[in-house]
């Protein structure tokens, strides 16, 4: 996740089932969203300075996690290359419970064979959840990675929350994959690859 290098104009944190979430705004839109990783957020050293937009984003995220919201209408401003913005626009069109593959996004952006570039753009999404990059899976429904929060465990939780069947990546050396989050709901939907 990348946040523009300047200090946030607005900063709001909220708790969630997947860890604390930090919302960064520029005074008009959300420009960054981070999910806690190893107990840390990018701006933990700064005091909260919420505004109407970051408060709205926090309220909508709370509704999403409680099951009362399926989409977000908070304004976002995405900083990235033209290709990244095209990939993020494709992701933003994925509705609750729907998925796309990296190949689908490559085709949509006119770069059908640019799987790695698409993966890089997905991973660079500055506002996960609001632009739902967790809904992008490998061609066989496998989680291939996730750059927010605790990675694959966070993505598996989000997919299960939305009722999206998915496959966990194959573990190395036959060791069972430790998701690290409460995976009770995951067990019903996730199928190890």
Q: Is the same domain home to 184 and 90?
A: yes
User: With 60 as the cut, is the pLDDT of residue 178 above it?
Assistant: no
Tell me the pLDDT tens digit for each residue of 108-152: 998 877 888 999 999 999 999 999 999 999 999 999 999 999 999
The answer to whether residue 71 sits within a structural domain is no
Q: What pLDDT does residue 192 have? A: 39
Q: According to the model, what pLDDT value does residue 128 have? A: 97
Our separate counts of H helices and E strands in the chain read 6, 7
Q: Tell me, what's the pLDDT at 115?
A: 82
Q: Does one domain contain both 56 and 86?
A: no
**Residues marked as catalytic:** 133
Q: What is the pTM of this model?
A: 0.85
| Complete DSSP assignment for 66-115 | HTS-SS--S-B---S-HHHHHHHHHHHTPPTT--EEHHHHHHHTT-TT-H
> d(Cα 3, Cα 26) in Å, to the nearest integer?
11
Residues 28 and 101 in one domain: no
Distance of alpha carbon 92 from alpha carbon 121, whole angstroms: 13
CATH number, domain at 141?
1.10.10.10
Q: What is the pLDDT of residues 43-72, one digit of tens each?
A: 999 999 999 999 999 999 999 999 999 999
- Same domain, residue pair 151 and 187: yes
Q: How many domains does the chain have?
A: 2
Q: Which two tokens stand for residue 7?
A: 């200090």
Domain that holds residue 16: 10-66
């Amino acid at each position: 996740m990348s946040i523009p290098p300047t200090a946030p104009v607005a900063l709001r944190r909220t708790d969630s089932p997947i860890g604390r979430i930090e919302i960064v705004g520029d005074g008009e839109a959300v420009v960054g969203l981070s999910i806690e990783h190893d107990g840390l957020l990018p701006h933990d050293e700064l005091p909260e300075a919420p505004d109407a937009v970051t408060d709205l984003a926090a309220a909508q995220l709370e509704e999403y996690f409680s099951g009362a919201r399926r989409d977000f209408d908070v304004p976002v401003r995405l900083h990235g290359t033209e290709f990244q913005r095209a990939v993020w626009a494709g992701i933003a069109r994925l509705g609750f419970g729907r998925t796309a593959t990296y190949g689908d996004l490559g085709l949509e952006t006119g770069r059908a064979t640019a799987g790695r570039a698409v993966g890089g753009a997905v991973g660079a999404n500055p506002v996960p959840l609001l632009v739902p990059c967790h809904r992008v899976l490998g061609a066989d429904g496998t989680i291939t990675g996730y750059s927010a929060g605790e990675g694959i465990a966070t993505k598996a939780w989000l997919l299960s929350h939305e009722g999206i069947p998915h496959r966990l990546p194959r573990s190395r050396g036959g060791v069972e994959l430790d998701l690290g989050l409460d995976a009770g709901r995951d067990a019903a939907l996730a199928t190890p690859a």
